[in-house]
Every structure is written in C-alpha cells, then in structure tokens.
C-alpha cells in the first residue's frame, strides 16, 4: 500500500472520511474537477492529484510522456520536502508491467529511471511465468499471432489488475495525451473506469512537441530507441519503425493490425476478462484432450 498519507487539505477528507468515502466523493465531483482541470498544466493536474487522491501510483511503460511525468513528480516531491524541511521522498510509487517481450532498452530505462529518481518501482509479470521460456512453454511461441487479445490479457491486463489488488491501488497516472488521437482524442483530465479505478492523464493537453521540449530542457532519461526513428515503443513484436507517410504519434505500433490503437489496459476490464478467460479455459481443455488422445 502507498505509505503516503492523504493530505488533510483535501476537501474530500476534511472530516476524516475513510478512503472509500473519499473516492465516492471524488467520483461524484468529477464534472467539477474536470471543468477545473480541462486546460490545466501538467504541474497543476499532478498537484491536484497528489493532494486529493489516496493510494496513488504511476503506471508506466516508460514512454516519453511517462518519463516526463516521472520527472515533474520528482521535482514536485523535492520542492514540497524542502518547504516542509524534511528529507525528500518520491511521492508517487511506480508500477511497471514487464510483459517479458519488452525491448532490452525499455528494461534498462525502467531500472535507470527508478534509480535516478529514487522512485520505488513495483514490477509485475504474467502470472506464474517470469521468463519468455516459461511463458512459451505454457502458451506456445508467438502466442500474440494466434490470439492477440488473449495475449494482451495475459501479459498486460491481468498483471496490472493483480498489481492494483495487491498494492491496494485506487488511482493511477497514465501517459495518455489527446494529440495521440484515436480513442485518446477526447480524454478528460480525471476519469474513472468500470472497476472504480481513477485514471489521471496529467499531460493530456500537451503535444508531442511540448513533451519533446521538456525532455531536452530537463535532460529527462528516455528510451534510446527513439533516437533511431521509433515513435511509440511497446513489445518488440508489435513495434516497428513508422513509414514516411505515417506521421501519427503512435505510428509503428500494431502496424499489421488495422484499426488497433490500444493494448487492453484502457478497454473495459470486465468484458475483456470474460472473453479472455473463456478462451483460456477452452485452450486448457483442448490441451488435456490432446494429452489423453
């Protein structure tokens, strides 16, 4: 559990309300919150979140936006500690979902960034499989080619939900921005998903140029693959160099999957879970039948 106590200045906790009550009040007040934050700066959105959201974490795959968010939180943590006259402590712990198929550069960046910012990082992997060999022994090689949605559930959606349950996560920062287009074009600053998890998009109002400028001005550590022309980095098998004709910010992701824009983490969890688990049960029965044959 996040050891950071909710600041008593939060209007949602001034009467000593428990976490569930605070969250109910925040969710009920989201229209007002988003009206206030719809044109806010990342610093303003981050400050509101740290001041008001209990059990807050940053879920990140260390994309450029996530790295900038991490840097701003670090600066905020140091500034607040200095004003309070206490030792600085990174205010928002990290959650990193290691799919086992990340580029080596991504794994290296996660470790370097966590150390650089003294940010506690919780790493979660596919259940019961902590290496590619073990994952493919259980599910077969190139599972994403046979059933990409179920693959996404196994390596991203289920580990993320397990992380949220084990850490008692109630709110997370994401790296989504409006200029990334597709399903992200109409983002609000603060959202609540079907599970009750609050998702905050602190850089929603920034363009890629804004993010890139911040990275350069503040020497933010970032994935070195971006230096070679990649624009959005995910698993190695779903990431490619974008074509000259494709200028989208997430170009190069799922290039052979027409229309795909999200990996599952920002889709309806319950619907995704039901379909994936049904397929997994059917696959398990097929394996048992084959073994008996």
Q: Which residue numbers are catalytic? A: 263
Whole-number Cα distances in Å, 241 to 11, 81, 122, 146, 255 = 47, 42, 30, 23, 9
What string of DSSP letters covers 87-142? ----SS-EEEE--S-B-HHHHHHHHHHHHHTT--EEEE-STT--SHHHHHHHH-TT
Which pair of structure tokens corresponds to residue 164? Answer: 């949220």
Report the candidate in 52, 23, 179, 160 with the shortest Cα–Cα distance to residue 97: 160
Beta bridge partners of 94: 58, 121
In angstroms, the CA 149 to CA 157 distance is 10
Which pair of structure tokens corresponds to residue 25? Answer: 């009040």
> Please, how many CA atoms are within 13 Å of residue 154, restricted to the half-sphere of its CB?
23
- Cα four-point dihedral sign 134, 138, 139, 140: positive
Contact yes or no for 241/103 (Cβ under 8 A): no
**Torsion-angle region of 146 (φ positive above 0: left; ψ -120 to 50: alpha; else: beta):** alpha
Dihedral over alpha carbons 282, 283, 285, 291 (to 10 degrees): 160
The residue written with tokens 């209990």 in the block is 54
């Amino acid at each position: 559990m996040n050891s950071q106590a909710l600041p008593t200045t939060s209007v949602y906790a001034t009467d000593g309300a428990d976490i569930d009550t605070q969250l109910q009040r925040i969710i009920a007040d989201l229209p007002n919150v988003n009206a206030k934050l719809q044109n806010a700066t990342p610093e303003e959105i981050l400050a509101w979140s740290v001041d008001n959201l209990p059990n807050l974490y940053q879920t990140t795959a260390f994309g450029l936006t996530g790295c900038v968010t991490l840097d701003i939180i670090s600066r905020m943590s140091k500034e607040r500690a200095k004003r309070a006259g206490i030792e600085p402590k990174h205010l928002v712990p990290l959650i990193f979902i290691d799919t086992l198929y990340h580029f080596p550069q991504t794994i290296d960046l996660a470790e370097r960034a966590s150390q650089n910012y003294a940010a506690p990082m919780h790493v979660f992997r596919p259940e019961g499989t902590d290496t590619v060999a073990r994952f493919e022994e259980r599910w077969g090689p190139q599972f994403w080619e046979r059933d990409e949605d179920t693959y996404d559930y196994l390596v991203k959606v289920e580990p993320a939900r397990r992380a949220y349950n084990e850490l008692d996560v109630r709110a997370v920062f994401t790296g989504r921005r409006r200029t990334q287009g597709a399903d992200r074009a109409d983002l609000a600053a603060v959202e609540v998903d079907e599970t009750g998890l609050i998702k905050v998009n602190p850089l929603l109002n920034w363009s890629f140029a804004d993010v890139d400028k911040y990275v350069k001005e503040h020497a933010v550590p970032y994935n070195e693959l971006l230096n070679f022309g990649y624009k959005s980095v995910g698993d190695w098998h779903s990431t490619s160099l974008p074509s000259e004709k494709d200028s989208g910010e997430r170009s190069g992701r799922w290039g052979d999957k027409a229309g795909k824009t999200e990996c599952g983490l920002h889709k309806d969890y319950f619907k995704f879970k039901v379909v994936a688990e049904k397929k997994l049960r059917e696959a398990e029965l097929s394996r048992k039948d084959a073994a008996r044959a």
